[in-house]
Amino acid sequence: MTAPPVPHQRRAVVVSEDELRRRVIADRTAEALASLRKQGVRLGRPRRCPDDVLRRVVAERAAGARLADICTRLNDDRVPTPGGSGRWYPSHLSRLLRTQDARLLGRTEARKTGTSLTRG
């Protein structure tokens, strides 16, 4: 007959079971999100950038413009940032170009021009 596990051994078993449960939940969640993405479902919070600004940025980038040059033109035209600031920086555009909407629009532009939005 075996002795019942001592408390610290039992704790190790519980921790191990909890880790397994967390991994299973994480895997299920990742699979569900991947399935939704594949179906084209929009995930995350809504984009705050107006459509016309997004189209402009994606088109200029697809045409080969550098992020800094696009920022200069947006600032010269006094286009407000999605956050309401009056000054655009390359980091704003970099984030904007990584959104779902920009990637989808960018694929279309890239096909037209034969370029990529991910250049430096």
Give kind and range of the element (H or E) at residue 6. none
Are 102 and 49 in contact by the 8 Å Cβ rule? The answer is no
- Residues 65 and 19 reside in one and the same domain: no
Q: How many domains does the chain have?
A: 2
| pLDDT tens digits, one per residue of 40-90 | 888 888 889 999 999 999 999 999 999 999 999 999 999 999 988 889 999
In angstroms, the Cα distances linking 63 to 21, 54, 57, 87, 113 are: 49, 14, 10, 22, 7
Indicate whether 73 belongs to any domain.
yes
- Residues 39 and 56 reside in one and the same domain: no
> Does the pLDDT of residue 111 top 80, yes or no?
no
**Cα–Cα dist 68/78, whole Å:** 15
Are 72 and 87 in contact by the 8 Å Cβ rule? The answer is no
- Residues 83 and 99 reside in one and the same domain: yes
pLDDT for the residue 78: 95
- Residues 69 and 98 reside in one and the same domain: yes
Indicate whether 118 belongs to any domain.
no
